[in-house]
Amino acid sequence: MSRRILIVLSEWGYWGEELIGPLEVFDQAGYTVDFATPTGKRPVPLPPSYDPDYIDPPLGRTVTTPEMAAKVKALDASDRYDNPINISELVPERPYHSEPNYLRAIERYHNAIDAMSREVTATYDAILLVGGSGPILDMANNQRVHELVLAFYRANKLIGAECYGVATLAFARDQDTRESIIRGKHVTGHCIEYDYKDGTGFVGTDINIGPPPYPLEYILRDATAPGGAYHGNYGHELSVIVDYPFVTGRSTHDSYLTGQKMVEVLDNGLRQWGFHP
């Protein structure tokens, strides 16, 4: 049975290996992959993620091999993710309470969300949110991306996220309870030891905001409580957590394993892995 995966990418810079890893795994599994971005612009990899000489400050070493750099450049030079799905057209915007005739507006909104949810969950078996610094700007607090994730969550379908893409899961919340969908779940994500002290930037700008504007580890610790937990696994080379319906990967080198565990969930029924419940 062929599977279909929706991969969401930032328009402000994704980390190359965090796409290449799971994408290669999905291709090898015979899956069909579609791409989506917040406003339909073509995604672009972060320059450090295809520079084999770039030294990652917290790790004090290079994190991109020449082979991986070549793969990232080759994918970006191809037409594979030309014309991605435009999430701003796929998912409606929630109206402000201050809008005229709010009651009718919110009814139309919920009807449109229900229709979108039925469409995407009938089409796709899973969604993957790729990391990098870009998601900080256009995925983590993007209401339309949240609704897309919630569609998969409510349909009990697989949701994968990597690195700073995991922040989206913390902020994707039902508007009645305001509780994160990862409440009570076990996840991993970029740990505080891996955060830059300086140098967080975005493609298309010369902005250096210094460190990330929020420490993802602290957000994930708070969002998973009570009953769940954040697992940084600092000092371990790899960190991937499966707690269905979520598969989360900590950082760059977890990308292939994230893809592999998503395939194991879809094809073999894996439900928990990487932590002691």
CB 161 within 8 A of CB 221: no
Residue 123 tokens read as 């089409």
* Cis peptide bond upstream of 245, omega within 30: yes
Give the whole-angstrom CA distance, residue 257 versus residue 64: 16
Q: What is the DSSP string of 133-147?
A: SHHHHHTTT-HHHHH
Q: For 109, which DSSP code?
A: H
CB 72 within 8 A of CB 66: no
* Tens of pLDDT, residues 12-64: 999 999 999 999 999 999 999 999 999 999 999 999 999 999 999 999 999 99
Does 1 score more than 70 pLDDT?
no
Q: What is the pLDDT of residue 112?
A: 98
- What integer best gives the mean pLDDT of the chain? 97
Q: What is the pLDDT of residue 257?
A: 98
Alpha-helical segments (H) within 38-139:
66-77, 87-90, 102-123, 134-138
Average pLDDT over residues 114-127: 98
Helix (H) or strand (E) holding 128: strand 126-129
Q: What is the pLDDT of residue 29?
A: 97
Does 249 score more than 70 pLDDT?
yes
Residue whose tokens read 């420490």: 215
End-to-end CA separation in angstroms for the chain: 31
Residue 102 tokens read as 């709010």
* Tens of pLDDT, residues 135-175: 999 999 999 999 999 999 999 999 999 999 999 999 999 88
CA distances to 84, 93, 227 from 241, rounded to whole Å, are 28, 32, 15
User: Taking CA 43 as the corner, what is the angle to CA 109 and CA 138, rounded to the nearest 5 degrees?
Assistant: 45
Radius of gyration of the chain (CA): 18
Q: What is the pLDDT of residue 230?
A: 98
Would the pTM of this model clear 0.85, i.e. be above it?
yes
Q: Is the dihedral of CA 92, 189, 161, 276 positive or negative?
A: negative
* Tens of pLDDT, residues 70-118: 999 999 999 999 999 999 999 999 999 999 999 999 999 999 999 999 9
Q: pLDDT band for position 277 (50/70/90)?
A: confident
Does 179 score more than 90 pLDDT?
yes
The structural domains of the chain, ordered by start, are 4-273 (3.40.50.880)
Average pLDDT over residues 185-212: 95
Q: Is the dihedral of CA 49, 54, 57, 60 positive or negative?
A: positive
Does 191 score more than 90 pLDDT?
yes
Q: What is the pLDDT of residue 276?
A: 86
